[in-house]
Chains A and B, each alone.
Chain A
Amino acid sequence: DIQMTQSPSSLSASVGDRVTITCRASQGIRNDLGWYQQKPGKAPQRLIYAASSLQSGVPSRFSGSGSETEFTLTISSLQPEDFATYYCLQYNNYPWTFGQGTKVEIK
């Protein structure tokens, strides 16, 4: 199975900060990776697919990059509504696997 190692597990940041979250795959997965945002009590919402494609309706301050084993989600200027938990998901190979999650908290 492909392991996804996500870091950091949590971070504190201020409104306006640039935030970067990383996922590393245990083997190459091309660009078969998505990024998701989840708020408490709600279903996850996809932000990025195919590693760098922005989901329709998602603000342009979110961006994704990377391929094969190293991937990054960047929030260019953190907004109050962005405080949430973020997950990566590899869908290159079954079983699909999520990263452990990154909780973004208010500093």
Chain B
Amino acid sequence: EVQLVESGGGLVQPGGSLRLSCTASGFTFGNHAMNWVRQAPGKGLEWVSGISGAGGSTFYADSVKGRFTVSRDNSKNTLYLQVNSLRVEDTAVYYCARGWTDCWGQGTLVTVSS
């Protein structure tokens, strides 16, 4: 069974940092691009970042470019999102999704507040 499990969310002050993780199982992780999508409370979905299967290509939404960094460790079947210089408006549930978003994790909540 394909499974994606996010972790690493929490409460952080503005300007702070977190590293989100997404651990995959049930498929050959390195064969698939991966994506991060977020959803602010009561709002719609926003694509945040994507990374190719080998990790050589990365993509970002303009709203996070220069502050967020996506990476992966295929030996650990894990996707990461390093989120720096956090703003109140980054408060959201962060989901990881496989490839063309056929499978999603349950999400991890990031709250940015003083």
Residues of A participating in the B interface, judged by any CB pair closer than 8 Å: 1, 34, 36, 38, 43-46, 49, 55, 87, 89, 91, 94-101
Contact = CB atoms under 8 A, between A and B. Distances in A.
B59 interface: yes
Contacts of A100: 44
Interface stretch (B24-32, B79-87, B98-106): B98-106
B100 A91 contact: yes
B104 A45 contact: yes
Interface of B: 35, 37, 44-47, 50, 59-62, 95, 100-102, 104-107
Contacts of A44: 37, 45, 95, 101, 104
Contacts, number: 48
10 contacts: A36-B101, A43-B95, A45-B104, A87-B45, A91-B100, A91-B101, A95-B60, A97-B47, A99-B44, A100-B44
B45 A98 contact: yes
Nearest to A87: B45
A87 B59 CA distance: 21
B106 A43 contact: yes
Nearest to B47: A96
Contacts of A46: 101-102
A32 to B, nearest CB: 9
A97 B35 CA distance: 12
Contact of B105 (A38, A43, A45, A87): A43
